[in-house]
Chains A and B, each alone.
Chain A
Amino acid sequence: MKRYSIFSLLRNAVSHHKDWPRAWRSPDPKTEYDVVIVGGGGHGLATAYYLASQHGISNVAVIEKGWLGGGNTGRNTTIIRSNYLWDESAHLYEHSLKLYEGLSQELNYNIMLSQRGVLNLAHNQHDLRELSRRISANRLNGIDSEFLTPAEVKSMVPLIDVSPGARYPVMGASVQRRGGVARHDAVAWGYARAADARGVDIIQQCEVTGILRDGGAVTGVETTRGTIKAKKVALAVAGHTSMLAQMADVRLPITSHPLQAMVSEPVKPALDCVVMSNAVHGYISQSDRGEMVMGAGIDTLTGYSQRGALPVVEELQRAIVCLFPSFSRLRLMRQWGGIVDTCPDASPIVSKTPVEGLYVNGGWGTGGFKATPGSGWVYAHTIARDEPHALNAPFALDRFTSGALIDEHGAAAVAH
Chain B
Amino acid sequence: MLIIDCPYCGPRDEAEFHYGGEAHIVRPENPAELSDEEWAEYLFMRTNTKGRFLERWVHSEGCRRWFNMARNTANNEIEAVYRMGEQAPKANVSGDTNK
User: Chain A residues in contact with chain B, CB under 8 A?
Assistant: 240, 242-243, 251-256, 300-305, 309-311, 341, 344, 400-403
Hey, what's the 0/1 contact readout for B32-64 against A, CB within 8 Å counting as 1?
000011011101111111100101000000000
Cβ-neighbour of A255 out of B18, B37, B46, B76 (below 8 A): B46
Instruction: Tell me if A305 and B37 are in contact (CB < 8 A).
Output: no
Instruction: Tell me if A256 and B48 are in contact (CB < 8 A).
Output: yes
Cβ-neighbour of A240 out of B22, B43, B47, B50 (below 8 A): B50
Instruction: Tell me if A344 and B14 are in contact (CB < 8 A).
Output: no
Q: Specify the main secondary structure of chain B where it touches its partner.
A: mixed
Knowing that A251-B45, A300-B19, A305-B73 are A-B contacts, what are 5 other residue pairs whose CB atoms are under 8 Å apart, sorted by A's residue number? Answer: A253-B46, A255-B21, A301-B73, A311-B15, A344-B44
Question: Which residues of chain A are within 8 angstroms of B46 by Cβ–Cβ distance?
Answer: 242, 252-255
Instruction: Tell me if A252 and B55 are in contact (CB < 8 A).
Output: no
What is the number of residues of chain B that contact chain A, defined by CB distance less than 8 Å? 27
Closest B residue to A344 by beta carbon equals B44
How far is B14's CA from A255's CA once the two chains are assembled, in angstroms? 20
Instruction: Tell me if A302 and B21 are in contact (CB < 8 A).
Output: yes
B30: interface (CB < 8 Å): no
Nearest Cβ on chain B to A301's Cβ, whole angstroms: 5
B74: interface (CB < 8 Å): yes
Instruction: Tell me if B74 and A304 are in contact (CB < 8 A).
Output: yes
B1: interface (CB < 8 Å): yes
Instruction: Tell me if A304 and B40 are in contact (CB < 8 A).
Output: no
B87: interface (CB < 8 Å): no
B75: interface (CB < 8 Å): yes
Nearest Cβ on chain B to A52's Cβ, whole angstroms: 32
Instruction: Tell me if A301 and B19 are in contact (CB < 8 A).
Output: yes
How far is B36's CA from A307's CA once the two chains are assembled, in angstroms? 37
Cβ-neighbour of B18 out of A240, A254, A300 (below 8 A): A300
Cβ-neighbour of B50 out of A251, A254, A304, A400 (below 8 A): A304
Instruction: Tell me if B48 and A254 are in contact (CB < 8 A).
Output: yes
Question: Which residues of chain B are within 8 angstroms of A303 by Cβ–Cβ distance?
Answer: 73, 76
Instruction: Tell me if B44 and A309 are in contact (CB < 8 A).
Output: no
B84: interface (CB < 8 Å): no
B9: interface (CB < 8 Å): no
B2: interface (CB < 8 Å): yes
Nearest Cβ on chain A to B53's Cβ, whole angstroms: 6
Nearest Cβ on chain A to B40's Cβ, whole angstroms: 4
Q: 20 pairs across A/B with beta carbons < 8 Å?
A: A242-B46, A242-B48, A252-B48, A253-B40, A253-B46, A254-B46, A255-B21, A300-B19, A302-B19, A302-B22, A302-B48, A302-B53, A303-B73, A305-B74, A305-B75, A311-B14, A311-B15, A341-B48, A344-B43, A400-B44
Nearest Cβ on chain B to A76's Cβ, whole angstroms: 21
Cβ-neighbour of B2 out of A252, A253, A309, A403 (below 8 A): A309
Nearest Cβ on chain A to B49's Cβ, whole angstroms: 8
Question: Which residues of chain A are within 8 angstroms of B74 by Cβ–Cβ distance?
Answer: 304-305
Q: A242-B48, A255-B46, A310-B1 are in contact. Are A302 and B14 (CB under 8 A)?
A: no
B:55-85 near A, CB below 8 Å: 55, 73-76
Closest B residue to A402 by beta carbon equals B36
